[in-house]
Amino acid sequence: MLGYQNTAQNLATGPNAMLLHLPARGMTQANFIDTSECPRILRDMVDALQPVSRGVAGAQAFAAAPSGPPPVQIFDHDIYTVVLATDPTLIPDALEQVPPQKRIAVNRPLFDFYAAMYPGYAVALCCFDNSEAKQANPLLMWYTPQDENRFALPAVDCHTGGVPDLRADVLTDHWVVFGTDEAAPDWGVPVHYTKGRSRALGAFLPKRLSRTQSPAEAFLPERVIGMRFTGWQPNGDFVIPYENVLAADLRALQRVSPA
């Protein structure tokens, strides 16, 4: 599972997008989980970790069709029109199918960069109207990993729309959070999930205790570990061996350049 959320600052009207490169095989629209009933899930994980930490699919089983997904898929999810591609060089030609108010300018060098740096990855271009940025719910996706022995979390940074500079240090303000169903019962910190955008709406109970089922509920970890990253860091992705996550040892968590 991958959950992703950022705090967007609305600097202008018009189209915008975020690009996520995913270490996944066979992704389709069905991999995107509805989080509209529980938009605070990632914040709840951070709230659970903040006092003590600083600075494989869930309960349901899925399988991609034997022939694999189409090379490019376009669909609406939350505020986004998602262009999901097995080959990012196909995205520029697909942009004409994105609604004009969400359609970013064609930028072939950017998608050539991701094709070269992340061969075989699924790439999700999540297009949105800047005026809707603050209404976005967290993204939550299940996937079949390319490497089951490590977590690889997309974090290559560039806010200009150009090709990321992998030699640069970038200013970070990230929480990186991990969960697993395979650890010991006392592993990590328990999470108290909530429904709706306000805690006053009541508790979102752990999946085995819940009385009402949310589409996201079966995929949420009951306990988490994590770290906050601030200040200047080398550009790249967050990578950690799965065995270190099972041991609750985040010393092996690194930001690694794809180059």
Please give the model's pTM, rounded to 2 decimal places.
Answer: 0.82
CA pair distance 232, 46, nearest whole angstrom: 21
Phi, psi of 219, deg, nearest 5: -100, 0
How many beta carbons lie within 10 A of that of residue 161, not counting itself?
Answer: 12
Task: Place 197 in a pLDDT band, splitting at 50, 70 and 90.
Answer: low
pLDDT of residue 165: 95
Q: What is the mean pLDDT of residues 175-201?
A: 83
The CA–CA distances, whole Å, from 215 to 120, 142, 143, 190, 196 equal 28, 12, 16, 20, 14
- Is the pLDDT at 199 greater than 80? The verdict is no
Q: What is the pLDDT of residue 213?
A: 63
Percent pLDDT > 70 in the chain is 84
**If you average pLDDT over every residue of the chain, what do you get?**
85
User: What is the spatial distance between Cα 6 and Cα 139, in angstroms, rounded to a whole number?
Assistant: 10
Structure-token match 């986004």, residue found: 80
The mean pLDDT value for 208-232 works out to 82
Phi and psi at residue 244, to the nearest 5°: -70, -35
Biggest CA–CA distance in the chain, Å, is: 50
CA dist list (Å): 112 to 24, 69, 116, 160: 18, 21, 6, 16
Judged against a pLDDT cut of 50, whether residue 56 lies above it is answered with no
Distance CA 213, CA 211 (A): 7
Say what the pLDDT of residue 184 is: 92
Q: What pLDDT is recorded for position 212? A: 55
Domain boundaries, the chain: 2-256
pLDDT at residue number 10: 60
| DSSP 3-state percent helix, strand, coil across the chain (nearest 5) | 20, 30, 50
Confidence of residue 58 (pLDDT cuts 50, 70, 90): very low
Q: What confidence tier does 25 reach under pLDDT thresholds 50, 70, 90?
A: confident
The sign of the CA dihedral 41, 46, 52, 56 is positive
Least confident of 76-90, 113-127, 193-207: 193-207
pLDDT at residue 230 greater than cutoff 90: yes
